[in-house]
Structure 1
Amino acid sequence: MSANPFFVGLDAGGSTTLLLAECEECPGRIDRHGPAANPQRVGMDQSVQVLSALVKKTLRAQRPVDHLSVCAGVAGAGRPDEQQALADRLRRTLGDDARSVSVEVVHDACIALDAAFGAESGLVVIAGTGSVVLARTRGGTARRVGGWGHLLGDPGSGYAVGQAGLRAVAEALDGGADTILRPRVAEEYGVDERAALIHWVYQDRPPLQDVAPLVIEASADGDTVATDILTAQVNELVRQVEWLLGETDDVAPRIALLGGMLQNEHYAAALRRALADRVPDWSVEVLRHEPVVGALRRARRLDE
């Protein structure tokens, strides 16, 4: 290992990017945050710009750096060719900031596995803006189900829950089941009739995941429609866990839950109940560390 190595972990999720860094001479870990860097949403150029700018800003007070080791867990970079292309561009962009640079780009779910279990076996369920289920077998093989994005999947995610809530509002406007979501959406966003809802969704294009807390709160307050939405969404997400476990019996029986949706206790309790029903012998815990901790651990292992 070089005389002055610098290690950087990045978690580029659907909404924000987090950085965690450390070095032998640093008094403590350095943390920063920046805008979203999902290349499928902001483009490859913007993704590279966001990630490299965070690293460069962090390095300003640390020069000279002999070796820079970076691991970035990036939402929207699920294919190996995408990960390699992003890693290559980051390596070139950061080439002037250290004498040597190592960069690894992985799907953001991979760093969650490392944050939860280190290099050992286990399964993570992520429910944030999107959703995905990822496991590492005892033999070290990664298995993934879901993570298709909001157009094709992501059950149990903020986007899916919010979208389902607005569908319920639209159905109520059409004469369907009444729900307290209708007046709450009207109060929060000022839409309480067909034309306004259509304009808001299709012209203003709001982030539908922002509606998810209204759905969860309505469920907690006893609204049947909202509860049905929440139950259906978490059941679909747990079904993906079952699909993954149907492919292999070589995963340690422990599950870590993480993502912005898990910050709401009502949602977390619903997901826990669904898991207890479908995989009753598995331990289930909310992740104790931020996923970016896993990225930093992987950065340290890059040159071992």
Structure 2
Amino acid sequence: MSAYHVAVGLDAGGSKTQLAAEWEGPSERISRRGPAANPSRVGMDHSAQVLSALVKEALQARRPIGRLAVCAGVAGAGRPDEQRVLADRLRQELVDEAGAVAVEVVHDACIALDAAFGSESGLVIIAGTGSVVLARTRAETTHRVGGWGHLLGDPGSGHAVGRAGLRAVAAAFDGGDGTVLRARMAEAYGVDERSALHHKVYQEDLPLQDVAPLVVEAAADGDPVAMDILTSQVDDLLRQVEWLLREAEDVAPRIALLGGMLQNEHYAAVLRRALADRVPDWSVEVVREEPVVGAVRRARRLEE
């Protein structure tokens, strides 16, 4: 029996991990989904275990494997030293799965670039649980702004929008501006008084990104507080686009949008309008391919 060549892409975001694997020869492709594997939150060892377990599970579909190429786009692995460590650990976990194993770990924004533009130039804005702006120039250099994580940055992300919404509810309890977010938090989470809000956030660890849809919906319905939150968050995100374009010259004038926040039509419309004001001559499109497709493309290039 001949051995197969397999390219595996992994998209390890803030809330889940997606896998896509392609076999050379039978032209088979499979998908898997697993838990989050952000090393800054779960640790490097656990991240490697989650990713390698997903790959091993996928490889059961067809064996033997002669050559295995893996590209993992990982949120929370933005520094080269982190990427090298995680790549080495993944390689060690997978060394017995194939005759030859090649592993690349990059920031998850990098695979979004490949999903949007292949190896060509362009700029991507990612707004999911976190946020980041990334561009590739025509000279094939890559520039990134943001991606600092929820403690230091991530404007326009689900985490940041949700946090701002909860702060607005807390302010309303204190006598600040009234907002429908207060009633919607009561309906969605039973938060109808100060102590309930405090308990939900600090004792039950309410995922802040889960509150973001309530904020966007309230903004779409015309709530002034929610509208201000959304406008402010989008402005902060697009300020990062401006910073990147000052640094990175000769980027093809096209922007791809992706991430869970863009699945909300109102959020996407607010972001598009702001982009039309800031970069009126640039094309703007929502990425049609999932980022994990970009990871598979990069894995294929590891075999070249």
Give the drift of 1:21. Answer: 0.7
Could you list the structure 1 runs, at least 4 aligned residues long, displaced by more than 3 angstroms after superposition: none
Q: Distance in 2 between matches of 1:61 and 1:193?
A: 52
Q: Distance in 2 between matches of 1:97 and 1:27?
A: 20
Give the drift of 1:165. Answer: 0.3
Q: Distance in 2 between matches of 1:172 and 1:204?
A: 21
Unaligned residue ranges in structure 2 (runs of 5+): none
Unaligned residue ranges in structure 1 (runs of 5+): none
Q: Secondary structure at the match of 1:94?
A: helix
Q: Distance in 2 between matches of 1:286 and 1:82?
A: 30
| Structure 2 equivalent of residue 295 of structure 1 | 295
| Superposition map of 1:29-68 within 5 A | 29-68=29-68
Give the drift of 1:241. Answer: 0.3
Deviation by residue 1:92-147 (Cα, 9 ceiling, x = unmatched): 11011001100000000000000000000000000000000000011011000000
Paired residue total: 303
| Superposition map of 1:29-108 within 5 A | 29-108=29-108
| Structure 2 equivalent of residue 263 of structure 1 | 263
Deviation by residue 1:205-244 (Cα, 9 ceiling, x = unmatched): 1110000000001011110110010010011101100000
Q: Distance in 2 between matches of 1:162 and 1:63?
A: 45
RMSD of aligned Cα (Å) = 1.0
**C-alpha contact (below 8 Å) 2:3/2:64 kept by paired residues:** no
Give the drift of 1:3. Answer: 6.0
| Structure 2 equivalent of residue 282 of structure 1 | 282
| Structure 1 equivalent of residue 224 of structure 2 | 224
| Structure 2 equivalent of residue 171 of structure 1 | 171
Deviation by residue 1:165-194 (Cα, 9 ceiling, x = unmatched): 000001111111110000000111111211
| Structure 2 equivalent of residue 185 of structure 1 | 185
**C-alpha contact (below 8 Å) 2:4/2:63 kept by paired residues:** no
Q: Secondary structure at the match of 1:186?
A: helix
Give the drift of 1:249. Answer: 2.2
| Structure 2 equivalent of residue 204 of structure 1 | 204
Paired letter, 1:72:
A
Q: Distance in 2 between matches of 1:149 and 1:26?
A: 40
| Structure 1 equivalent of residue 139 of structure 2 | 139
Deviation by residue 1:248-301 (Cα, 9 ceiling, x = unmatched): 221000000000000000000000011111111110000010000000000000
Q: Distance in 2 between matches of 1:280 and 1:192?
A: 44
Q: Distance in 2 between matches of 1:211 and 1:248?
A: 34
Q: Distance in 1 between matches of 2:139 and 2:291?
A: 22
Shifted more, 24-33 versus 7-16: the winner is 24-33
When the two structures are superposed, what TM-score results if normalisation uses the length of structure 1? 0.98
Give the drift of 1:303. Answer: 2.4
When the two structures are superposed, what TM-score results if normalisation uses the length of structure 2? 0.98
Give the drift of 1:23. Answer: 1.2
Shifted more, 110-119 versus 3-12: the winner is 3-12
Q: Secondary structure at the match of 1:126?
A: strand
Shifted more, 54-63 versus 268-277: the winner is 54-63
Paired letter, 1:152:
L
Q: Percent identity?
A: 76
Shifted more, 171-180 versus 191-200: the winner is 191-200
**2:227 maps to 1:235:** no
Q: Distance in 1 between matches of 2:67 and 2:228?
A: 53
| Superposition map of 1:12-31 within 5 A | 12-31=12-31
Q: Distance in 2 between matches of 1:294 and 1:101?
A: 19
**C-alpha contact (below 8 Å) 2:261/2:267 kept by paired residues:** yes
Paired letter, 1:37:
A
Shifted more, 223-232 versus 59-68: the winner is 59-68
Q: Secondary structure at the match of 2:65?
A: coil
| Structure 1 equivalent of residue 249 of structure 2 | 249
Q: Distance in 2 between matches of 1:292 and 1:95?
A: 22
